[in-house]
Amino acid sequence: MVSDPEGSDIEIEANQGFESVWSRAQFLLQVVIGAVVCAGLLGVFGNGWLSTSTRHFSGMPLAVTYQRLMRANAPADLIVAITGRLPGDVLELGVGSELLDRASIGSTQPGAAAISATAKGETFTFRLGPDHAGHITLKLSVRRPGPAEMRLLANGERLELPLFVYP
């Protein structure tokens, strides 16, 4: 049995240098986790408020809704809404080759009456109904991550759609 009081006392003392470094590291980690959670809730990683965008053709009554933040190899919808009466009963919708080099279009709803491939991309021909209204959905699947520019042509008018693809 130890009878010396100096030998049996244990002194525990905080290491102030380590504690201040650990406190800063914890704070930074909590900020990063909070930022990732907020970004996810807002849709930065897909299917949220910030991930979708709507653009309009300037000379045609067409609105395009798409996901500007996509995941690689995940399906995404590109919706072309006819917001007014179009001249004629045919809509030719062209998709630029820049996007087709990185992505594929699985299907369209409603089905295209004709699909033709050109050096500039693919052109989908849709027959409009008697009211010349509705919407067209293109099912996209992007293979390569990174920033991309999607070009659409509708009856000769061009629209640029910027997007970013996450891995």
pLDDT tens-digit map of 139-151: 998 888 888 888 9
d(CA 75, CA 106): 9
Other beta carbons within 10 Å of 166: 14
Q: Which two tokens stand for residue 122?
A: 């693919």
Q: Which two tokens stand for residue 164?
A: 């970013």
pLDDT tens-digit map of 32-84: 999 999 888 877 776 677 778 899 998 889 999 998 888 888 888 899 998 88
3-state SS string for the chain: CCCCHHHHCCCCCCCHHHHHHHHHHHHHHHHHHHHHHHHHHHCCCCCCCCCEEEEECCCCCEEEEEECEEECCCEEEEEEEECCCCCCCEEEEEEEHHHHCCEEEEEEECCCCEEEEECCEEEEEEECCCCCCEEEEEEEEECCCEEEEEEEEECCEEEEEEEEEEC
Q: Given the structure tokens 């992007």, which residue do they identify?
A: 142
Query: The whole model's pTM is what?
Result: 0.73
* pLDDT for residue 129 is more than 80: no
